């Protein structure tokens, strides 16, 4: 049993700030098969990965300002895998000609005690949903086609109701800050999916009432 | 990870912390233990801001153990515990307006790692704000994960180099029903370190810094 390396410097502060570049769109249920067919042809793997995930969105209300949002996601199809905790920052305001939505992103893999732990920290669950669909990869790009369902009874993931008659499509890349060629590559990939689907930059803050 | 016990060793009469640690190293080497690198366990304390007045602020401890370098353990004393990857530290930086890092409360335990057959022994100096506060000894019996089955053997082994400073069965194991496995994610080990750190934090050390 070898001794693991002991770092003298702390882990905090040395980690690169990762950014998520995002383009979103949707297709009606009837168009799903054509989209999957086109993606199979354009993307890396032979068969896409299917998934069924349960996501819970937690809010921490502070003394002032907007509440702090954390997203906790677990796989219903692979129940023993770790939970995925995600923090997404405010979208970067800046270059209007930039093709994708850019925001700071922190991803943490955690044990199954996550919901209880978040409650102890003071977070309260705001809403939850089930997402099922397919995931494709092309290089650093990830394309996720998902059907979102509302959970009717809190905590019961068996009893769900589809939110809409369409599928949400998200094209994303996780990259260190400052790599602007990423959004160019995303835009040219999105071009290849037209006119089946129109992927665009949708600012989430403009969606709030 | 096998059953692990963390205990405090008192500083030898008339000797400094460093001299006591050296004495323990010598005893282990005489037994036939082989030095295998070093280890570090550290603990940072965060307290929640913006709490209801009158209620004491909850303390969140974030700990790292060099035995599991890619993981981070976050726990509330007596409350739930979360095992996360190293990015949890980055998340705590993002949460700094809700959870303040009590920088003066950082505790570190560093020392040498010894291997003796199926035992792993770590003798560490516990420091708080650069002053040595005490000595910790961690003994792990690697082949076994059931505390009840190997506690007597571990106690006997510890007696061979700790003499009379052998501890009782750690409270984390007393709380578990008979026959339950110690989980392999080192939560029990880290909980014991936290208890030790909190105990040392409350002790008043007479005189100035002891190195």
Question: Each residue of B110-162: pLDDT tens digit?
Answer: 999 999 999 999 999 999 988 888 999 999 998 988 888 888 899 999 998 88
Nearest to A111 among B50, B60, B83 (CB): B83
Interchain contact A62–B (C-beta under 8 A): yes
**Does the pLDDT value for residue A6 go beyond 70?**
no
Beta strand A83-91 pairing with B71-76: unpaired
Exposure letters B89-104 (e unless 16+ CB within 10 A, then b): bbbbeebeebbebeee
CA B189 distance to own-chain centroid: 7
A143 φ/ψ angles, rounded to the nearest 5 degrees: -115, 120
Mean pLDDT, all residues of chain A: 87
Domain-embedded: residue A5: no
Domain-embedded: residue A129: yes
A90/chain B closest Cα distance in angstroms? 12
A69 φ/ψ angles, rounded to the nearest 5 degrees: -110, 135
Interchain contact A152–B (C-beta under 8 A): no
Name the nearest CA neighbour of B41 among B166, B137, B114, B131.
B137
Cα(B161)–Cα(B138) distance, rounded to whole angstroms?
A: 12
pLDDT of B161 = 87
Name the nearest CA neighbour of A53 among A131, A119, A135.
A131
Q: Specify the higher pLDDT residue, B164 or B38.
A: B38
- pLDDT band of residue A207 (cuts 50, 70, 90) is low
Domain-embedded: residue A13: no
| Cβ-based contacts of B72 with chain A (< 8 Å) | 11
Based on its alpha-carbon atoms, the radius of gyration of chain B, rounded to whole angstroms, reads 18
**Chain B: residues touching A (Cβ < 8 Å):** 36-40, 48-50, 58, 60, 64, 66-69, 72, 74, 76, 79-95, 97-99, 110, 113, 115, 120, 142, 185
Domains with residue ranges and CATH for chain B: 3-202 (2.40.320)
pLDDT of B49 = 83
State the virtual CA torsion across A124, A129, A134, A139 in degrees, nearest 10: -20
E-assigned strand segments in A29-152: 49-60, 68-75, 83-91, 101-110, 124-138, 141-151
Domain-embedded: residue A189: yes
ipTM of the complex: 0.86
Interchain contact A205–B (C-beta under 8 A): no
State the virtual CA torsion across B100, B103, B107, B108 in degrees, nearest 10: 110
Exposure letters B111-137 (e unless 16+ CB within 10 A, then b): bbbbbbeebbbbbbbbbbeeebbbbbb
Cα(A8)–Cα(B109) distance, rounded to whole angstroms?
A: 12
Question: Each residue of B55-64: pLDDT tens digit?
Answer: 667 889 999 9
Domains in chain A: how many in total?
1
Exposure letters B14-30 (e unless 16+ CB within 10 A, then b): eeebeebbeebbeebee
pLDDT of B204 = 55
| Cβ-based contacts of B80 with chain A (< 8 Å) | 113, 116-117, 120
> Around Cβ B52, how many Cβ atoms within 10 Å?
6
pLDDT of B207 = 44
**Does the pLDDT value for residue B210 go beyond 80?**
no
Domain-embedded: residue A6: no
Secondary structure of residue B10 in the 3-state scheme:
coil
Question: Each residue of A85-104: pLDDT tens digit?
Answer: 999 998 887 766 678 889 99
| Cβ-based contacts of B50 with chain A (< 8 Å) | 62-63
Mean pLDDT, all residues of chain B: 86
pTM, to two decimals:
0.86
**Does the pLDDT value for residue A137 go beyond 80?**
yes
Percent of all residues in chain A with a pLDDT value above 90, rounded to a whole number: 62
Nearest CA in chain A to B79: A120
**A5, A9, A12, A64: best mutation site toward chain B, by most B Cβ within 10 Å?**
A12
State the virtual CA torsion across A187, A189, A191, A195 in degrees, nearest 10: -130
Test B81 with A117 for CB contact under 8 angstroms: yes
| Cβ-based contacts of A69 with chain B (< 8 Å) | none
pLDDT of A11 = 44
Name the nearest CA neighbour of A83 among B2, B23, B83, B66.
B83
pLDDT of A16 = 66
- pLDDT band of residue B209 (cuts 50, 70, 90) is very low
CATH number of the domain bearing residue A101: 2.40.320.10
Cα(A131)–Cα(A115) distance, rounded to whole angstroms?
A: 18
Which structural domain, as residue segments, surrounds residue A189? 19-203
Percent of all residues in chain A with a pLDDT value above 70, rounded to a whole number: 88
Question: Each residue of B23-53: pLDDT tens digit?
Answer: 999 999 999 999 999 999 999 999 888 665 5
């Amino acid at each position: 049993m070898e001794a693991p390396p002991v770092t003298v410097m702390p882990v905090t502060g040395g980690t690169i700030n990762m950014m998520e570049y995002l383009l979103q769109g949707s297709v009606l249920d009837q168009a799903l098969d054509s989209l999957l067919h086109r993606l199979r042809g354009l993307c890396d793997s032979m068969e896409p990965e299917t998934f069924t995930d349960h996501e819970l969105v937690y809010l921490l209300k502070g003394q002032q300002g907007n509440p702090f949002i954390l997203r906790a996601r677990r796989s219903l199809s692979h129940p023993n895998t770790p939970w995925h905790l995600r923090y997404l920052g405010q979208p970067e305001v800046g270059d209007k000609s930039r093709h994708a939505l850019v925001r700071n992103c922190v991803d943490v893999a955690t044990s199954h005690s996550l919901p209880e732990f978040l409650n102890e920290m003071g977070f309260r669950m705001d809403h939850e949903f089930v997402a099922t669909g397919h995931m494709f990869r092309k290089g650093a790009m990830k394309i996720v086609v998902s059907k979102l369902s509302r959970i009717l009874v809190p905590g019961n993931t068996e009893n769900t109701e589809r939110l809409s008659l369409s599928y949400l499509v998200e094209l994303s890349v996780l990259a260190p800050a400052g790599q602007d060629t990423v959004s160019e590559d995303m835009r040219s990939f999105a071009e290849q999916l037209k006119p089946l689907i129109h992927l665009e930059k949708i600012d989430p803050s403009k969606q709030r009432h | 990870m096998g059953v692990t016990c963390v205990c405090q060793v008192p500083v030898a009469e008339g000797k400094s912390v460093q001299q006591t640690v050296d004495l323990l190293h010598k005893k282990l080497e005489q037994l036939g233990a082989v030095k295998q690198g070093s280890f570090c366990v550290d603990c940072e304390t965060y307290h929640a801001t913006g709490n209801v007045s009158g209620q004491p602020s909850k303390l969140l401890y974030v700990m790292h153990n060099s035995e599991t370098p890619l993981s981070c353990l976050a726990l509330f004393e007596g409350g739930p515990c979360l095992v996360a990857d190293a990015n949890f530290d980055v998340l705590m930086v993002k949460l700094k307006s809700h959870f303040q890092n009590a920088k003066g409360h950082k505790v570190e335990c560093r020392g040498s790692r010894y291997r003796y057959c199926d035992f792993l022994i770590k003798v560490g100096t516990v420091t708080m704000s650069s002053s040595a506060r005490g000595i910790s000894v961690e003994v792990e019996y690697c082949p076994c994960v059931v505390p009840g089955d190997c506690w007597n053997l571990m106690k006997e082994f510890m007696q061979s180099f700790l003499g009379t400073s052998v501890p009782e069965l750690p409270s984390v194991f007393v709380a578990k029903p008979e026959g339950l496995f110690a989980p392999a994610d080192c939560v029990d080990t880290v909980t014991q370190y936290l208890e030790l750190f909190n105990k040392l934090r409350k002790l008043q050390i007479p005189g100035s810094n002891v190195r």
